[in-house]
Every structure is written in structure tokens, then in C-alpha cells.
Structure 1
Amino acid sequence: MKTTSTDWLYTVMPAVFTWLKESESGALEIDFEETQRQAEYVLKAQGKGGSRMGGLVASGTLGENSYLSNEQRLSLLKSLSEVAKKYSVPLISGAVAETKEEIAKIIAGLATVGVDTVMVMPPKTLAVPSDEDMYAYYALAATAAKEAGITIMPYNNPDAAGYHAISTDTLIKLADLPEVVALKISSIDVSIIETLLLENKDLKILAGVDTVTVYAGLAGACGGITGVGTVFPKASVTMQEYVLKGEWAQALKVSQAMNSISYLDGQPLLMEYLKFAMGIHHNDSVGGLRTLGKKLTRDQIEDVRARYILAKERVEALGLLD
């Protein structure tokens, strides 16, 4: 689907996991069927008010993007584009590169497998890019998106980039590019969102850290991209329904119910932690531990398990367990 409308931004969108299986040789390969099944599980969920997730985020941080080959990534996205079309939501993918020429090439490739919007990370360079270089990187990404008939979403994530956040001035300029559908801000400091909206009240901003989804909404974010919502989709969608209606006390109750597991979204091993939580949720702990990333220690496994159980009990008490 084309993302010419911005209605889908006023929602939460799940960052789904890439499920893996062992091949006959013992090597890990993508389990396309299970990955699609889990994506459908999330997109079928409804909040108390009847709304659903507004998009499908695949091959991002939680989708093990940095560990996949280009061929694996494109095959994965092509399979998930079928799910996105079935539920009439845009397919969103992450992308990062060292140079502007490389990111333009990646965006063109993603468009061929059904991706509607690309979350573009800042360039992966050893030297910190200047504001001018940063703008040029995203401007060429926008040009590539225009030529491919899709949109982009600058992804301000200093922890993942390895250097300082994209400057406010640069973000404001990027938001003026016609191909930029929204900005994604991954920070627990929601004052950044307020600052941006003071400069341009019409900006569309998505929160990228689960622990501050409600506070980001208070600051003016229109929606968010969620990892925890992939595990507890009904609760996550309901929380966003409350945020959009300004029912902050109710929204905070849901946020607090999920807080023990939302905490994991802000940790360096967020993908490994939340993937294991998803495995527990689907009675597939072994699958949840099957990753191309870091192997969890026994203590980490038990910590995630305890956090999941606590969140599940609290979510269930609110009547929001799927």
C-alpha cells in the first residue's frame, strides 16, 4: 500500500522478531512460516476500543537486521509484505549504511519487496558526521525513496548510531522533505519531542522507547513503534487508545502493568531479551533463545522470565491479555 495518508501514524506499530530454525546442517535459517504467524497474531489483536496496530515493522533492531545478509533481509520482507497487505497496513523496514550512496541503493532494493516506509538510521561512520553531511545523507535517501515511490522516516537513535543525536535544526529541515512521513525519536528524554513541536506543530513524531510511550504522547507524539506490544498487543493498542483520547490515568495504568518488561526495551540486549519473552509467551522458549545475536546467560534468562510473568499477571488483571 502507498503511505500517502498519515492516519496510520496515530497508532502503535509492532517491531516484529525474525524467528529462526535449525537447518539439517545445524545452521540457523529464517523460519518464514513462524515469523508470518507471529506477525498475524499481533496484527489481529484489538484494543478495548476496537482499534488495531497501524503498521508492521520488520527487519529493524528487533528483527535482527544487523545480522542478516541482504538476501535474507529482502526474502524476509517479501514474505512479511504478504501479511501487511492482508491486514491493509504499511510495511516498514529499518536501514542503515556508511554512505549516502549506499543508503540510496538499499532503499531502492527495499521498495522492490513491498516496503512502504524505510526507517533510516544515521550513517554508520567512525567519524561523527557534520550537520551538513547528515542532511545530505538523508536528502539522498529521500530522493531514492521518491524515485521508488515510497517514503522514509529518519530514525534518531544516538545509542545505536554510536554518537550524538541528530541535531534539532537538522531534524526540522529533514521533516520538510516531502518524502519524510514522520520522525522516529528513540530517547527517554521526551523534551526533545516538545522542542521539535514548538518549532513545527505539524510534525509527525513516533516514540521509539516503550517505557516512555505515554509521556511521549503527553509531549505530542502521535504514535509509537513498540517491541513490548509485539508480546502484549491488546494492552499496547489499548494504551494508545487512551493516549489519543487524553485519558492519561488509564494509559498510565496500562503502562505500569507492562513496566517490568518495558524496561528491557531500553537495554543494550533489548532484541535478545524481548525475543525470549516472546518465546515464553508462545510456549517456545527454545525458539525465543534462538538468535543470531548474543547468547543470554542463565541469570539473564531467569530475569527476563520473572519480568514477563509479572507483566503478564498485571496485564491479565486489567483484562488486556490476548
Structure 2
Amino acid sequence: MGTNSADWRYTVMPAVFTWLKASASGALEIDFDATKDYAAGILKVQGKGGTRMGGLVGSGTLGENSYLSNQQRLSLLSALSEVAKEYNVPLISGAAAETKEELATIVKELAAVGVDTVMVMPPKTQQTPSDEEMYDYYALSAAVAKEVGVTIMPYNNPDAAGYHALSTELLNKLAALPEVTALKISTTDVSVIETLMLENKEAKILAGVDTVTVHAGLAGACGGITGVGCIFPKASVTMQEYVNEGNWAEANKISQAMNSISYLDAQPLLLEYLKFAFGIHHNDVEGGLRTLGKALTQQQIDDVRARYILAKERLSELGLAE
């Protein structure tokens, strides 16, 4: 995939879950076949306009990333790479490190198992780096990406605790790197996206929070990475089609229909919430959708169930619940 490719425009990509199964010892392990089948199923889905998901995001927050060992993660991505190649879409996965040298190693490892684009998180340091230090961190990842034949996607998540926010000035500098194919902006404050687009109309920005898909599109985002789209892919793809057309009224109908469940994508327990909702969707709450994450309270379970039911009812009226 070429750097700064126009293929990244006007698309939505699912951040897929990881299927788990009980091993002989009773411990949970990755069910690679089920995970691949599930990812392929999402990539097959078409929106009302005939388009499909434009990429595949693996081993992210929704993919149990923080609970997997490095070897498990690389094996998972290798398996998902087969699916991405079959459907001719890029495989994306994230990288975070304390130092730029550690980051360089991770980029090489991800490239070796078939990842096409690395979402690069800010350095995991307690002290906030200067813009110069931050730029050096990303610049080295870009140089290594070029060396191993992949691209990078700087990931700004200013709403999440523990992540250093990237300034708009720095983001614009990073967007100019030839190895940067897009910027991922995960925030409910879409003015960040609008500010970037006002300064650089050619910037490619992917929104990272489902609740703001339409507003992000209005602000200039060219697509997004979705969690709720793993549950309702037809609705997610169709909404992006309407955003691409500038048909804001129809896009907003879908956004409003999904709002009760999209809300969960912006919560700290998004993995546990959305995976449980997906389990309800497939009548498999206790099966392959078990999680390594935190156990939900009964109150949380009831809340997720109610939000899922409401979203499904509203999407059914629009013919988008499958």
C-alpha cells in the first residue's frame, strides 16, 4: 500500500474482537479460526450503497490487546493478515512504547507478521515529552516503517487517561511525513479535527469514537475506526456512505439510532461492554465471546442489554439491524 494513499479516504474500519476458547487446562486462549471467520464476516457486509469496510484493525483495545502476551498478539495478527489479504484491505494494529528505540522494534515485529499500517500511540512516559521529543519519536517510527515497507498512523487520544495529547502543530508536522497515511483522532471534541483541516485541507483524518462519526465528517474527517460497527456493520458502513455523500440528514438518522450503544465506545470499559453486546447479538454471551477483561456487575449488564435492544429496535426500522 502506498504512503499517503487516497485509498484511506471515505472509509470505515472495524476494530475487531478476539475470539477466546477454553484450553485443556481451563485457561482462556485465542480461537484463531473463529476470530478469522468473524473478521471475514464483517468484511463481507455491504452498506446500502454497496461499499464495504475499508480496512481491518486487529489486537486493539477491543481485541484484548492489554491482556495478551507479545507472542499471542503477533500470532493473532498473523492470522488476521490472512483475512485482510483475502479481502484486499490493509491490516492495522497499534504500537506503544516508552522509548523510540522500543517503538522501532515493535514496528518491525508488526511488519513481519503482515501488519500494513501501525497506529503509533504517544510514548508511554510519566513526564510529558516536548513537541521536539515527540516528533523524534514519531519520525524514527516513520523511518523504520519505510525500511520495512509499512506505513504509520499517529494516534491522538486526548480524552483517555494516561495518553499524552498531541498538539495540532505537531499533528500537522506528522501528517507531512511521507510514511504517514492518516491521523487517528479519538476524541468527542471534533473541533480538534476541524482545526487540523482548516490548517491542512489535504490531511487524512480518521475519527476514533463512534458517537461523533457524523460530526467528525462535518469537521472534515475522511472516515473512522469503529467498535459498534463490529455489531452493526451494515449500519456503520451505510452511515459512512451518507457522510461521504454529504447526506447529513440520513447519516444522522443512523447515528441517532445507534446512539444508545455508540455511547459505550467512549467508556473506559468499552471492551467489556461492546463484547457483551455482541454476545447478545449472536446469542453467545458465554461462548466464544468470553473476555479476559473485567467482570461486569449486574447493573452494567442490564444497562448494556437495554442499550443494545434500543439500538437494534431503531436500526430495524431503518433496515440496518442485520
TM-score range, shorter chain: over 0.9
Q: How many Å separate the matches in 2 of 1:166 and 1:141? A: 16
Aligned to 1:248: 248
C-alpha distance 115-11 of structure 1, shift in aligned 2 (>3 A): same
- The answer to whether the 8 A contact 2:4-2:180 is kept is no
Q: Residue in 2 aligned with 1:86?
A: 86
* 2:239 aligned residue: 239
Q: Tell me which residue corresponds to 1:313.
A: 313
State the partner residue of 1:115.
Answer: 115
- Equivalent in the alignment of 1:220: 220
Q: CA deviation at 1:109?
A: 0.6
Deviation at 1:287, TM superposition (A): 3.4
* 1:136-183: CA deviation from partner (whole Å, max 9, x where unpaired): 111111111001100000000124461441011110111111100000
2:13 partner amino acid: M
1:258 aligned counterpart, secondary structure: helix
Q: Is the 8 A contact 1:121 1:161 kept in 2?
A: no
| Counterpart residue number, 2:202 | 202
**Which residue identity lines up with residue 263 of structure 1 in the other structure?**
Y
- What is the alpha-carbon distance in structure 1 between the residues aligned to residue 304 and residue 287 of structure 2? 15
Equivalent AA in structure 2 for residue 94 of structure 1: G
Rounded to whole Å, the distance in 1 between the matches of 2:142 and 2:8 is 20
State the AA in 2 paired with 1:14.
P
Aligned equivalent of 1:262: 262
1:11, distance to aligned residue in structure 2 (A): 0.6
1:298 to partner: Cα distance? 1.3
Q: CA deviation at 1:130?
A: 1.3
Deviation of 1:66 (Å): 1.7
Give % identity. Answer: 77
- The verdict on how the C-alpha distance between 1:168 and 1:228 changes in structure 2, with shifts beyond 3 A counting, is same
Question: Which residue of 1 is the match for residue 136 of structure 2?
Answer: 136
Where does structure 1 lack aligned partners over 5 or more consecutive residues?
A: none
Q: Distance in 1 between matches of 2:174 and 2:202?
A: 13
With normalisation by structure 2, the TM-score equals 0.97
CA distance in 1, matches of 2:74, 2:97: 16
Question: 1:19 deviation in Å?
Answer: 1.3
Does the 8 Å CA contact 2:21/2:288 hold for their aligned counterparts?
A: no
**2:192 is the counterpart of 1:192:** yes
Once the two structures are TM-superposed, the CA of residue 6 in structure 1 deviates from its matched residue by 2.5
Output the CA distance in 2 between the equivalents of 1:306 and 1:177: 45
Q: Deviations over 1:56-102 (max 9, x none)?
A: 00011111112111100110001011111111100001111111001
Q: Is the 8 A contact 1:100 1:137 kept in 2?
A: yes
What SS does structure 2 have at the residue aligned with 1:291? coil
Which residue matches 1:211? Answer: 211
- The corresponding residue for 1:278 is 278
Q: CA RMSD in A?
A: 1.3
Moved more, 149-158 or 279-288: 279-288
Is 1:96 the counterpart of 2:107 in the alignment?
A: no
**TM-score normalised by L of structure 1:** 0.97
Structure 2: 5+ residue runs without aligned partners?
A: none
Cα deviation digits, residues 248-292 of structure 1 (max 9, x gap) = 000000000100000001101011101111111121101376222
Conserved in 1, the CA contact under 8 Å of 2:4 and 2:179? no
State the distance in 2 between where 1:106 and 1:262 align: 31
Whether the aligned pair in 1 keeps the contact of 2:116 and 2:150 (CA below 8 Å) is yes
Specify the alignment match of 2:156 in structure 1. 156
Q: Give the Cα–Cα distance (whole angstroms) in 1 for the partners of residues 124 and 18 of structure 2.
A: 23
Q: Could you tell me which amino acid in structure 2 is paired with residue 27 of structure 1? A: A
Query: By how many angstroms is 1:129 displaced?
Result: 1.4
Residue of structure 2 in register with 1:181 after alignment: 181
Following TM superposition, by how much is the alpha carbon of 1:5 offset from its aligned partner in structure 2, in angstroms? 3.0
Instruction: Call closer, same or farther: CA 1:9–1:186 in 2, change over 3 Å.
Output: same
Match of 1:291 in 2: 291
Secondary structure, aligned partner of 1:158? coil
Q: Give how far 1:235 is off.
A: 0.3
Corresponding residue number in structure 2 for 1:170? 170
The offset of 1:9, in angstroms, is 3.4
Q: Secondary structure at the match of 2:57?
A: strand
